[in-house]
Amino acid sequence: MNMNMTKQQIINQLIPHLQPAKLQAKGEADVNIALSKYWGKRQTELNLPTNSSLSIGLPGLGTKTQLTLIEAEHNQAWLNNQLLAPDNPFSQRLDNYLAPFQPSGLKFKLQTQNTVPTAAGLASSASGYAALALALNDLFDWQLDPASLSILARMGSGSASRSIYQGFALWHKGEREDGMDSVAQGLSHTWPGFSIGLVKIDVNQKPIGSTAGMQQTVKHCELYQAWPAQAERQVKLIQQAIEQRDFTRLGETAEHNALSMHATMMATWPPILYWQAESVSAMQKIWQLRQQGIEVYFTMDAGPNLKLLFLAENKKAIETAFENITIIQPFG
Ligand code: 2P0
């Protein structure tokens, strides 16, 4: 049985039918920031991770997608009102994702609008594939539950499994080969005053994308062997911290988790280093602020930008320390 066959079989299990209910549909999803990261796949075709992860959604920052069935030769992918060439890697990844759903004789026109300001330096594959899974669910009127939508989104991009939810989301790594238990759940806890600060260092193209970066780490980093168990433990610690509203535990664990993930990247050969000199300066500034009694932590993804974690009582101090910071309070 080849991998494509497996993917098709999983889709057959998930969705009730392949008859479109209408010609046009919509989906919308927010980006999410992992407080305990997804880094490494145990299976690439289905995006099955080596470890669980836990994230917070950023309301209002994400993707709006419109899906239309058209008579044409190729699928059409429009990104922020620009038609992409069929051989563009973004279009090809979409074609590959949409192939199992293609109604005979029709093509998909996908119009995707990112509501993340490009200047914020946030990745959009998470919100993009979550929005697309929601649009497909609408187009075919499958009426899938959130867990099935999370699996569908995860097959587009791992982190998209978490963007099906708002607020905190926990993506269970799962054990099964078919990935039916590798699914995110929304956590019901809220946390008024919980704040995320986006510190932009550089928003240009990164040296290596996260899909390739994590594969390289899994294959060529000895330190990576320690990662899955640590990440699993840290997901649990962060979940407890959310339940108990223990900000110190949450911040310390999230920062330690991010630095550990980046340590595995640096210990890969050839090395992967997403940081720039300004990233390190910002980290040092955060450590100084903590010494001065201002409780702020950071996390970082596959790029040079920092995401600060703090509580509303420190908002003014953070705004003073970081010019041009974008602050989001997911729960108001
Ligand atoms: C995360 N990242 O948990 C981690 C932290 C980047 C660093 O999820 O290959 O774009 O599409 O499954 O989801 C980025 O990985 O990778 C990511 P694919 P994805 O947010």
* pLDDT confidence tier of residue 117, bands split at 50, 70 and 90: low
> Which of 151, 214, 216 for a ligand 1 pocket mutation test, highest count of atoms within 8 Å of Cβ?
214
**7-186 and 194-328: same fold?**
no
Mean pLDDT of 207-219: 94
Region label for 301, one of left (φ > 0), alpha (ψ between -120 and 50) or beta (otherwise):
beta
Strand partners, 297: 309
* pLDDT confidence tier of residue 206, bands split at 50, 70 and 90: confident
Supply the DSSP symbol for 251. H
Please give the biggest Cα pair distance in the chain. Answer: 65
Instruction: Note the pLDDT of residue 205.
Output: 73
Q: Rounded to an integer, what distance in angstroms lies between the CA atom of residue 15 and that of residue 148?
A: 9
Q: Rounded to an integer, what distance in angstroms lies between the CA atom of residue 253 and that of residue 240?
A: 11
Is pTM beyond 0.85? Reply is yes
Using the atom order of ligand 1, give the atom closest to the CA of residue 301: 7
Cβ atoms 263, 300 nearer than 8 A: no
Burial of 261 (0-12, 13-18, 19+ CB in 10 A): buried
Instruction: Note the pLDDT of residue 142.
Output: 98
Instruction: Note the pLDDT of residue 4.
Output: 54
Determine phi and psi for 311, rounding to 5 degrees: -105, 160
Cβ atoms 6, 46 nearer than 8 A: yes
8's tokens: 């098709």
Task: Decide: helix, strand or coil at residue 298.
Answer: strand
Residue 118: pLDDT over 80? no
Instruction: Note the pLDDT of residue 122.
Output: 75
Supply the DSSP symbol for 118. G
Where do the structural domains in the chain lie, given as residue ranges?
7-186, 194-328
Q: Rounded to an integer, what distance in angstroms lies between the CA atom of residue 248 and that of residue 162?
A: 24
Strands (DSSP E) contained in the chain are 24-36, 41-43, 48-49, 53-70, 76-79, 82-83, 107-114, 168-171, 184-186, 194-199, 296-300, 306-311, 326-328
Strand partners, 108: 69
Q: Nearest residue CA, atom 8 of ligand 1?
A: 159
Mean pLDDT of 17-42: 97
Instruction: Note the pLDDT of residue 140.
Output: 98
Cis peptide before 89 (omega within 30 of 0): no
Instruction: Note the pLDDT of residue 120.
Output: 57
Using the atom order of ligand 1, give the atom closest to the CA of residue 47: 12
Ligand 1 centre from 159 Cα, in Å? 5
Q: How much is the mean pLDDT over the chain?
A: 95
Q: Rounded to an integer, what distance in angstroms lies between the CA atom of residue 73 and that of residue 76?
A: 9
User: Which of 103-117, 282-296, 318-332 comes out lowest in average pLDDT?
Assistant: 103-117
Ligand 1 centre from 210 Cα, in Å? 6
User: In this predicted model, what pLDDT tens digit does every residue of 150-189 receive, in sequence order?
Assistant: 999 999 999 999 999 999 999 999 999 999 999 999 999 9
Residues within a 6 A CB radius of ligand 1: 34, 37-39, 47, 53, 125-126, 157-159, 210-211, 301-302
Instruction: Note the pLDDT of residue 1.
Output: 42
* pLDDT confidence tier of residue 119, bands split at 50, 70 and 90: low
Strand partners, 54: 36, 170
Q: Quick one: 194-328 is in which CATH superfamily?
A: GHMP kinase, C-terminal domain (3.30.70.890)
Distances in Å between the alpha carbon of 17 and those of 102, 141, 144, 164, 303?
12, 9, 12, 21, 39
* pLDDT confidence tier of residue 116, bands split at 50, 70 and 90: confident
Chain centroid to CA 24: how far?
26
Q: Nearest residue CA, atom 14 of ligand 1?
A: 210
230's tokens: 């640590």
User: In this predicted model, what pLDDT tens digit does every residue of 78-111 receive, in sequence order?
Assistant: 999 999 999 999 999 999 999 999 999 999 999 9
Which CATH number is correct for 7-186, 3.40.50.10440, 3.40.50.2300, 3.30.230.10, 3.30.1050.10? 3.30.230.10
Q: Rounded to an integer, what distance in angstroms lies between the CA atom of residue 174 and that of residue 259?
A: 24
Supply the DSSP symbol for 195. E
* pLDDT confidence tier of residue 46, bands split at 50, 70 and 90: very high
Using the atom order of ligand 1, give the atom closest to the CA of residue 36: 3
Please report where in the chains the tokens 């145990």 appear, as a residue: 42
Q: Rounded to an integer, what distance in angstroms lies between the CA atom of residue 257 and that of residue 300?
A: 10
User: In this predicted model, what pLDDT tens digit does every residue of 218-262 receive, in sequence order?
Assistant: 999 999 999 999 999 999 999 999 999 999 999 999 999 999 999
Instruction: Note the pLDDT of residue 276.
Output: 95
